[in-house]
Amino acid sequence: MKKIFTTIMICAAAMFAFAACGDPEADKLEKVAGEWHYTGVESGVEIDIYLGLYTDSTFDLYQKVGEGPHYLYKGKYNFDGQVLSGTYSDYTPWAHDYNVTKSNGSLTLTSVAAPDYSITFRKEAIPQSVRTHYMPVTKAEGETPAIL
């Protein structure tokens, strides 16, 4: 009986250990994944940006600068637990790699190379009106890339 109990415990521990391991990369992405929103005004121009970071390492960036619809940039990102980097689907790299700070429902991205530059998003779902009303600029992987 004791032997059976020991065997069960070993199996359970093994299963727990297996489950806990998961995918370490996905676990890292989980930390930044979500939908984020930034608004601001620069030089009198209103900026409105939604960023969707998804656990499959893809992102959608809906960007509105001034009038007109949001422009959609798609691509892939990576997060190593500290630094967030990404490439648009037209193979253009992000302007920066960013150190990430999360607090109170906000996500602050600070340029690794230029620490004076940062942008803070707050957690907010991308509205359906934005998801369905945008100008595509870069396409998803598998679609024809724009020649830039």
Q: What residues line the site for other proteins (CB under 8 A)?
A: 42-45, 47, 49, 51, 61, 63, 65-69, 71, 73, 75, 86, 88, 90, 92-96, 98, 109, 111, 114, 117, 119, 132, 134-138, 143-144, 146-148
Question: Which residue, 80 or 143, has its beta carbon nearer to other proteins?
Answer: 143
Minimum distance between the CB of residue 37 and other proteins, rounded to whole angstroms? 12
Burial 107-145 (b: 16+ CB within 10 A, else e): bebbbeeeeeeebebeeeebeeebbeebeebbbeeeeee
Minimum distance between the CB of residue 42 and other proteins, rounded to whole angstroms? 6
Q: Contact at 8 Å (CB) between 9 and 62?
A: no
Question: Which residue, 55 or 87, has its beta carbon nearer to other proteins?
Answer: 87
Nearest to 50 by CA among 72, 79, 75, 68: 72
Question: Which residue, 5 or 67, has its beta carbon nearer to other proteins?
Answer: 67
Minimum distance between the CB of residue 55 and other proteins, rounded to whole angstroms? 18
- Torsion angle of C-alpha atoms 66, 96, 125, 141, degrees rounded to 10: 100
Could you give the 3-state DSSP secondary structure of residue 25? helix
Question: Which residue, 28 or 61, has its beta carbon nearer to other proteins?
Answer: 61
Nearest-5° Cα angle at 121, 34 to 31: 35
Minimum distance between the CB of residue 16 and other proteins, rounded to whole angstroms? 38
